[in-house]
Amino acid sequence: MRYWIIRDERQIPVEVEEVPGGYTVTMDGKPYQVESSRILEGLYSLIIGGESFEVTVHSHEPGRYDVHMYDGMRPVEILSPLELVLKSQEGARAGHGASIRAPMPGKVVKVLAVEGQAVVKGQGLVVVEAMKMQNELQALSDGVVTQVRVKEGDSVESGAELVTIGEAAEAP
């Protein structure tokens, strides 16, 4: 199957093909014979040309993978054909409103945003506390608060939509 690695504005083609004991992975035209053994969900042993790698792979967002190796972590963005299409559509829509989501579970300790309020990029919208630390979620662009979905004291899950920001024109 064909994928694309997105790196430094480039799209690098990657072909993954099953072979006995593993895969042939062809990156940017260069083939790698990979002996692959899945130990657990997200934990792999790879042997590539005699070199042994134990890696854990973790995906927080579609297309984005954290690959943990012995000597550190590498973030890799790799997209399937469908994901690539969706991403380019998303790019075209950029700026047309954005949801501020909780990147981790926590408790809302302060709501700074008010519906209808005009905000500028970087302005604080919600303060969420997790693990004894207060963290402020900020507007990603100028706009108007179209919806506030939480109130103080709410517990929120990772990924929960907290505030929606629309373009100024969309404001009531």
78-137 residues near another protein, rule: CB under 8 A: 78, 80, 82-83, 86-87, 89-90, 93, 98-101, 103-107, 122, 125, 127, 130-137
Q: Which is nearer to another protein, 153 or 172 (CB)?
A: 153
CB of 172 to another protein, least distance (A): 23
User: In the chain, which ranges are E strands?
Assistant: 2-7, 10-19, 22-27, 30-40, 43-48, 51-61, 64-69, 72-79, 98-101, 106-111, 118-119, 124-130, 133-138, 143-148, 155-156, 161-166
Work out which of 61, 151, 169, 172 binds another protein, going by CB under 8 A. Answer: 61
Is 9 a binding residue for another protein by CB under 8 A? The answer is: no
Q: How far is the CB of 88 from another protein (least distance, A)?
A: 10
* 145 is an interface residue for another protein by CB under 8 A: no
Place of tokens 């012995």: 70
Q: Which one of 43-51, 112-120, 143-151 is the stretch in contact with another protein (CB under 8 A)? A: 43-51
Q: How far is the CB of 150 from another protein (least distance, A)?
A: 14
Half-sphere exposure of 161 toward its Cβ, with a 13 Å CA cutoff? Answer: 11
Residue 128 CA to residue 137 CA, distance in Å, equals: 8
Is 55 an interacting residue with respect to another protein (CB under 8 A)? Answer: yes
Smallest distance from another protein to CB 65, Å: 4
Scanning 51-120, the segments in alpha helix (DSSP H) are 81-93
Indicate which single residue of 11, 19, 54, 170 sits in contact with another protein (rule: CB under 8 A): 54
Q: Give the binding-site size for another protein (rule: CB under 8 A).
A: 84
Cα distance between residue 101 and residue 137, in whole Å: 8
Q: How far apart are CA 65 and CA 80, in angstroms?
A: 13
Q: Which is nearer to another protein, 14 or 171 (CB)?
A: 14
